Amino acid sequence: MRDERTRRQRTLSRSVALDGHGLFCGQDVRLELCPAPEDHGIVFERTDLPTPVRIPALIDFVVPQPRCTVIQHNGAHVAVIEHVMAALAGMQVDNCLVRLNAPEPPGCDGSAIAFVELIDQAGVVEQTAEREVFSVPEAVTVVENHDVGVAAMPPRTDEYEIGFLLDYGNGPIHPQGHCCQLSPEQFRSHIAAARTFVLRKEVEALRSQGIGLRATPQDLLVFDTHGPIDNSLRFKDECARHKLLDCVGDFALFGCDLRGRFVAQQSGHRLNHALVRELRKLREQAGAAEGHSPSQKLRRVG
- Report the interface residues with Zn ion, using CB under 5 A: 196, 246
Determine how many CB atoms are found less than 10 A away from the CB of residue 231. 18
In eight-state DSSP terms, residue 227 is: E
Q: 121 — phi, psi (to 5°)?
A: -65, -40
Select 23 or 136, whichever has its Cβ closest to Zn ion. Answer: 23
Select 94 or 246, whichever has its Cβ closest to Zn ion. Answer: 246
Residue 130 and residue 7 in contact, taking contact as beta carbons nearer than 8 Å: yes
SS3 content of the chain, % helix, strand, coil (to 5): 25, 30, 40
Least CB distance from residue 256 to Zn ion, whole Å? 22
Residue 249 and residue 53 in contact, taking contact as beta carbons nearer than 8 Å: no
CA distance 200 to 104: 23
Instruction: Give the Cα-Cα-Cα angle 200, 201, 202 (nearest 5 degrees).
Output: 90
Report the DSSP beta bridge partners of residue 72. Answer: 77
Report the DSSP beta bridge partners of residue 21. Answer: 28
Select 196 or 267, whichever has its Cβ closest to Zn ion. Answer: 196
Select 94 or 109, whichever has its Cβ closest to Zn ion. Answer: 109
Active site residues: 269
Which single residue brings its beta carbon nearest to Zn ion?
246
